[in-house]
Structure 1
Amino acid sequence: MAADTVLRGGLIVDGSGEEPFVGDVAIEGDRIVEIGEPGTLTGKQVIDVDGLAVAPGFTNVLSWATESLIQDGRSQSDIRQGVTLEVMGEGTSMGPLSEEMKKSRDFILTDNDVNFEIGWDTLGEYLQFLEDKGVSTNVASFIGSGTLRIYAMGYEDRKPTADEMALMKDLIRQAMEEGAMGMSAALIYPPAAFATTEELIELASVVGEYDGVYVSHIRGEGRTLNIALDEFLRIVRASNTRGEIYHVKAAGRANWGKMDQMLATIEQVRAEGLPVTGNMYTYEASGTGLSSCLPNWAHDGGHEAMMARLRDPEIRQQIMGDMSTPSEEWENMYAENSPENILLVGFRNPELRKYSGKRLSEVIKERGTGSRETVLDLILEDDSRIFTIYFSMSEDNLRKQVVKPWISFCSDAGSYTAEPPFTNQPTHPRAYGSFARVLGKYVREEGLLTLQAAVRKLAAVPVETLKIKDRGLLKVGNYADVVVFDPATMQDHATFDQPHQYATGMKHVFVNGGQVLRDGEHTGVMSGRFVKGPGYKDGAQ
């Protein structure tokens, strides 16, 4: 009997890391039903893919498509690179939400131009909302430790009470049983930064009960990198979880030399049996808020409390004093970078959008104010964190990371369509090019990875880490998340000056058997699903 679709005569790169081979792939419904010799399988639709690579869909293990998928479920900037699973929830998540959180929306860190109603309470309800609404990509999420703290105790810089800790643990159990992948902690951002190591161990231990992952933007990626890595490893050991490090990096030129030791330490603990992995985007610049230039204590109490401090002349002087001093108490993005290496991107205030795409050094000169004063004034005038790009990393270090078999890839960005409202402001080019660069830059141009090794890291490694069933490999019986691309032409085009440019070279993309991309163009098919983690219990929502 003929299958729904047969991909005929392609180079099958199945995600195992083994040598590719030429063959046919048959898709029936939402599954791969047969893999055979070239020209042997029959289908109602037969697509000639001679000369093209056929691979399992890629996973974006750190996605900020939380809001962009509400605005436009086509997920175009990622789908056009072969991403068929968006894993969200770095530090904060779209649930659980109290009524107060829904009103304030302080927990939302991404798109200023996307407006939507919040009709869910829990993380599982949010992910089901996306599936029901219609998205082209599969979706999953971690529960954020920052979100847990906001729900239980607001933005206060203190230890939780016994009742507050019990509540956070109950919320983790609920999220894990709804299908969360684990718990994330982004420890440079308040209020997550206010958590002690012991608090994180206690919370992560609940994740361990469900065989979930503790994933972290560790507490320091620059001056305190070694201390932060030690803390992360201690949490993984003590909580009996599997551990993943978000965007493995040594930030700030003075810290670039720490990368070799970081990689060696991770490889040593892996050899000892500790289940630790990591991920990275393929650019030497990071992206976060301009507000990360402020000390943690300035964020105590939340956004409005921070704004009040910025209006107080005496407190402003204290903040500026801390900004100029390298610290082991918090990740000082101002002291680790110079104004020339800070690119301003995302403004809420239309009057300030003239500064989008300019370096902080340019804005300082234009405004005629001091550098630290300018940072505080911009945050106050915009009444937001201001998304900012920091040129803080080394391409040589990226090359060292790319070849590690335990490092997968991410965008750390939304998934956008290259049209308004997304093009109203610049973004980081990683939103459009992080995965294409793996295949174009590091496989074809630089030869750091074989094609089969790259596909394994793009598809199978993150799925194995998250213990997701029936995905990540081109295998009979697995879900038909399948991508077809031209290894000779796969290329990113987004730049820091012109970021809203799609990658090219991806020809066809199937998500759960639905053809989302045909001949490089989006079909409008919305076949994405809510993918559940290992702790999922049917009926938990």
Structure 2
Amino acid sequence: ERIRGWSRFGDWLAAMTEKGVSPNIGSFLGGGSLRKYAMGMEMRPPSADELATMQRVTAEAMEDGAFGVSFALIYPPSSFADRDEIVEISKVISRYNGIYITHLRSEADTLLEALEEAITVGQRANVPVEVYHLKAAGKRNWHKLSSAMERISEARSQGVDITADMYTYTAAGTGLTSVLPPWAAAGNKLYENVADPAMRAKIKAAALHPDGTWEAMAEMCGVDGVMPTGFMKEENQQYVGKQLSEIAAMLGKEWPEAVMDLLVSEGQRIGTIYFAMSEHNLRRQLQQPWITISTDAGGLDPVWAAPTGPYHPRAYGTYSRVLGKYVREEKVLPLEDAVRKMSSALCDRLGLRDRGQLREGFYADVVIFDPETVADRATFTDPHQLSVGVRDVWVNGARVLRDGAHTGATPGRVVKGAGG
């Protein structure tokens, strides 16, 4: 009943725990959802009334407990938002001591310019900034990570409250739609456009010869580095785990045409793996004091998730991969710092002052793992594998994992930002 009756962010938060959950749940307000609510998929600046609507809804969400607002500036409709619009929304976030969290407008050719935009938003709106899953994508851009990390450290030294998080894999995961220009989805007409011969020709030309104004993932990774996995229809299962170049050859078409045919067939974005990052850069990022660990994924149970097809292994292995591969095996960072990046540093950033540490009076959110055996098992070819070496977990003092097995307990509750 509640799901059908959502009218505020708080209703959604309450619905998430209504039937019982094992973990705690908190959230940012999605900037894309915010924009869509006010003005749909329009590719233009908001009117004064539309901006006022977004500011009002932002304030309501912050009062309901949102941590802040997230803008994924590489994806429509957030990609249609300009800097001034983001600043005006962020001023509302700031009033409630929230966070502006952003997927940078570029993680590739214009990474440094996109980072500068995020810093500018922080300065103009006087709001803390979080860059989610910091990376330099595409081999030709790997060298830019040094400058990006230096710029973040410099901004912090100048009083800008900016931090970043990361996941521990050299491949990204998003929709197959990311190989097409964002304007293909304007007006919420993506699937209509990719089925229209005239629009297909324009989209194909833009995909084959990107103009530098959008993140062309096929160009960044090469079609051999693009692996679609999220097919739902039986007739398309033959393409699971194959490179885009292979799929195009199987269909006897150029890759943009193959992509558009698949999107028409599936009627959904098609989850895709993009091999774009550097292992060397990943290790350097882990050593930054202002970096925390994130998954950039939802929580999955292999019992129900495996039948739906492949998924990015980060959903299963991110944290155990840090502890096993990067702490124990490669000694990239000490155990204490790795644990901090997964616990107290995150809670401090989100304003959860009574969580994240083993202290009297704090909520008992506790993980017991064996530092000698903890490891990830999920891979890109066999992703639905649980990690090993984690023995017990307590959430709010209730045991949800005992000797590596779920107890069935659902003690999770809503955790709120500073305004809630």
The TM-score normalised by the length of structure 2 is 0.98
Cα distance in structure 1, aligned partners of 2:157 and 2:211 = 33
Match for residue 492 of structure 1? Answer: 376
**Partners of 2:103 and 2:131 within 8 A in 1:** yes
Cα distance in structure 1, aligned partners of 2:226 and 2:193 = 23
Cα distance in structure 2, aligned partners of 1:414 and 1:274 = 30
Cα distance in structure 2, aligned partners of 1:488 and 1:201 = 47
Q: CA deviation at 1:437?
A: 0.7
Instruction: State how many pairs are aligned.
Output: 419
Correspondences of 1:96-495 after superposition (within 5 Å): 118-302=4-188, 305-495=189-379
Confirm whether residue 531 of structure 1 aligns to residue 415 of structure 2: yes
Could you list the per-position Cα deviations for residues 472-509 of structure 1 after superposition, in whole angstroms to 9, with x for gaps in the alignment? 11111000001111000000000001000000111110
Could you list the per-position Cα deviations for residues 69-123 of structure 1 after superposition, in whole angstroms to 9, with x for gaps in the alignment? xxxxxxxxxxxxxxxxxxxxxxxxxxxxxxxxxxxxxxxxxxxxxxx96442322
**1:179 is matched by which residue type in structure 2?**
G
Q: CA deviation at 1:421?
A: 4.6
Greater Rg by CA: 1
Q: CA deviation at 1:375?
A: 1.2
Could you list the per-position Cα deviations for residues 407-438 of structure 1 after superposition, in whole angstroms to 9, with x for gaps in the alignment? 11111111111112543211000011001011
Could you list the per-position Cα deviations for residues 28-60 of structure 1 after superposition, in whole angstroms to 9, with x for gaps in the alignment? xxxxxxxxxxxxxxxxxxxxxxxxxxxxxxxxx
Cα distance in structure 1, aligned partners of 2:334 and 2:40 = 48
Cα distance in structure 1, aligned partners of 2:205 and 2:123 = 37
Cα distance in structure 2, aligned partners of 1:429 and 1:326 = 30
Cα distance in structure 1, aligned partners of 2:195 and 2:341 = 48
2:397 to 493, 513, 519: 513
Could you list the per-position Cα deviations for residues 273-319 of structure 1 after superposition, in whole angstroms to 9, with x for gaps in the alignment? 211110111000000111111112111011xx122211222221111
Cα distance in structure 2, aligned partners of 1:323 and 1:506 = 44
**Partner-residue secondary structure (3-state), 1:375:** helix
**Partner-residue secondary structure (3-state), 1:233:** helix
Higher percent of residues as strand: 1
Structure 2 runs not aligned, ≥5 long:
none
Cα distance in structure 1, aligned partners of 2:137 and 2:369 = 33
312-321 or 138-147: bigger deviation: 312-321
Could you list the per-position Cα deviations for residues 216-249 of structure 1 after superposition, in whole angstroms to 9, with x for gaps in the alignment? 0010000111111111111111111100001000
**2:344 is matched by which residue type in structure 1?**
A
**Partners of 1:415 and 1:431 within 8 A in 2:** yes
Cα distance in structure 2, aligned partners of 1:143 and 1:504 = 33
**2:386 is matched by which residue type in structure 1?**
Y
**Partner-residue secondary structure (3-state), 2:302:** coil
Return closer, same or farther for 1:421/1:264 CA change in 2, 3 Å cut-off.
closer
**Partners of 1:516 and 1:526 within 8 A in 2:** yes
Q: Which runs of 4+ in 1 moved over 3 A?
A: 116-119
Cα distance in structure 1, aligned partners of 2:304 and 2:41 = 33
**Partner-residue secondary structure (3-state), 1:172:** helix
Cα distance in structure 1, aligned partners of 2:234 and 2:59 = 42
Identity %: 46
**Partners of 1:213 and 1:242 within 8 A in 2:** yes
**Partners of 2:313 and 2:378 within 8 A in 1:** yes
**Partners of 2:195 and 2:260 within 8 A in 1:** no
**1:126 is matched by which residue type in structure 2?**
W
The TM-score normalised by the length of structure 1 is 0.76
**Partner-residue secondary structure (3-state), 2:194:** helix
Return closer, same or farther for 1:117/1:533 CA change in 2, 3 Å cut-off.
closer
**Partner-residue secondary structure (3-state), 2:303:** coil
Cα distance in structure 1, aligned partners of 2:257 and 2:17 = 45
Cα distance in structure 2, aligned partners of 1:179 and 1:522 = 29
Q: CA deviation at 1:326?
A: 3.5
Match for residue 90 of structure 1? Answer: none
200-209 or 123-132: bigger deviation: 123-132
**2:187 is matched by which residue type in structure 1?**
G
**Partners of 2:399 and 2:407 within 8 A in 1:** yes
Cα distance in structure 2, aligned partners of 1:404 and 1:230 = 19
Could you list the per-position Cα deviations for residues 138-182 of structure 1 after superposition, in whole angstroms to 9, with x for gaps in the alignment? 010000111011101110111111111111101000000000000
Match for residue 53 of structure 1? Answer: none
**Partners of 1:433 and 1:494 within 8 A in 2:** yes
**1:398 is matched by which residue type in structure 2?**
L
**Partners of 1:348 and 1:383 within 8 A in 2:** no
**Partner-residue secondary structure (3-state), 2:121:** helix
**Partner-residue secondary structure (3-state), 2:137:** coil
Cα distance in structure 1, aligned partners of 2:269 and 2:5 = 25
Structure 1 runs not aligned, ≥5 long:
1-115, 537-541
**Partners of 1:326 and 1:336 within 8 A in 2:** no
What is the Cα-based RMSD across aligned positions, in Å? Answer: 1.2
